[in-house]
């Protein structure tokens, strides 16, 4: 019997259709498994992929160890918040335990009034700095994106980036000189008087109402160029064909900017706002400390300055730890709330 005859008999008796049906039934199963794997990201992680990315994972190990060593291991020091801690008594476990007495002392009495004031100052400086810094970075990124002369664009980027690499001590000194009297090199007063905006020099660093704006403006000058990096990167990820289609429809630069560029970087803006919300109570320490004085202390003193002056300098370490715990708890609540709000508004979120 020849091979042709065998194949004819097999086809006639029915096994061939059965095999075809089996193969066709397995195909949808394979497709469904692929779809399920695509829906469940946990199934994508395999040992083969881990081994293929071993170099990246090895580079991440030092950063992970750094976070554990300097962020999580010191957390055992939170026990000081529940003690009357005195360094001379020995280790942290040989101290007198006082329960929540330090929490009561921080939020009530004279300390409570002072702490409430510094919380308001911290929130005011941080929120104003965040709003001004975010708007400034977005506007600068949009303007730099419209610059077609590449050499000029690079020069402008370098000029705006450079202040980021100055220490805050130098920045505070520069701000102090800039806001001083014209006889001391205060060019801001010179400019205001030259433009006839003011008739006599303004003592900026002695007027408490100006202090929040001084902090926000100084932060803006230092970090403006650096904060634009992520926004410029997000702009480069926008599909160029969208601009071409808009140009064909007769859209100008401003129309493309508002209808394409801003919606394209909106996820980046939302994610950065969520991340920065966790730092609301961790405002810059150097500027309030170096620029503040007795005349503006009611508006200048922040939580970090309060912890230094009334915690560490007076030897009240337990009070300082309680303030740190308060900042951590509030930061977690703010990040979680901002992330939940972004989800409810169908925006990008961290989790």
Domains of the chain: 96-345 (1.10.3720.10)
Predicted pLDDT of residue 23: 42
Examine the pLDDT at 10 and tell me if it is beyond 70: no
Q: For residue 34, what pLDDT band results from cuts at 50, 70 and 90?
A: very low
Predicted pLDDT of residue 43: 54
Please say whether the beta carbons of 317 and 311 come within 8 A. yes
- The lowest-confidence range among 21-35, 62-76, 78-92, 187-201 is 21-35
Examine the pLDDT at 305 and tell me if it is beyond 80: yes
Radius of gyration (Cα) for the chain, nearest Å? 31
Predicted pLDDT of residue 325: 92
Give me the torsion for CA of 233, 235, 239, 240, rounded to 10°: -110
pTM of the model: 0.79
Highest-confidence range of 15-19, 180-184, 222-226, by mean pLDDT? 222-226
């Amino acid at each position: 019997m020849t091979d042709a005859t065998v194949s004819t008999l097999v086809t006639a008796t029915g096994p061939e259709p059965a095999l075809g049906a089996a193969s066709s039934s397995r195909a949808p199963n394979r497709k469904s498994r692929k779809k399920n794997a695509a829906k469940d990201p946990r199934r994508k992680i395999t040992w083969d992929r881990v081994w293929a990315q071993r170099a990246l994972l090895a580079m991440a190990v030092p950063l992970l160890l750094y976070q554990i060593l300097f962020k999580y291991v010191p957390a055992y020091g939170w026990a000081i918040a529940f003690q009357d801690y005195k360094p001379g008594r020995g280790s942290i476990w040989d101290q007198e335990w006082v329960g929540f007495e330090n929490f009561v002392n921080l939020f009530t009495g004279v300390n409570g009034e002072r702490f409430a004031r510094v919380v308001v100052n911290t929130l005011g400086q941080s929120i104003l700095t965040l709003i001004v810094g975010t708007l400034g970075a977005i506007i600068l990124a949009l303007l730099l994106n419209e610059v077609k002369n590449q050499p000029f664009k690079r020069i402008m980027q370098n000029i705006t980036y450079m202040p980021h690499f100055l220490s805050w001590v130098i920045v505070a000194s520069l701000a102090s000189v800039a806001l001083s009297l014209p006889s001391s090199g205060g060019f801001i007063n010179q400019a205001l008087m030259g433009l006839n905006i003011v008739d006599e020099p303004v003592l900026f660093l002695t007027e408490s109402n100006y202090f929040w704006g001084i902090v926000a403006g100084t932060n803006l000058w230092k970090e403006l160029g650096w904060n634009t990096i992520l926004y410029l990167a997000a702009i480069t990820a926008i599909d160029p064909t969208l601009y071409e289609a808009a140009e064909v429809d007769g859209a100008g630069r401003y129309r493309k900017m508002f209808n394409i560029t801003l919606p394209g970087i909106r996820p980046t803006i939302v994610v950065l706002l969520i991340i920065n919300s966790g730092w609301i109570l961790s405002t810059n320490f150097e500027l309030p400390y170096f620029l503040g004085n007795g005349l503006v202390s009611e508006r200048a003193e922040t939580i970090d300055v309060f912890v230094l002056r009334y915690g560490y300098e007076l030897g009240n370490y337990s009070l300082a730890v309680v303030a740190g715990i308060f900042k951590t708890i509030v930061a977690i609540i703010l990040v979680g709330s901002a992330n939940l709000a972004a989800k409810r508004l169908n925006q990008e979120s961290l989790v």
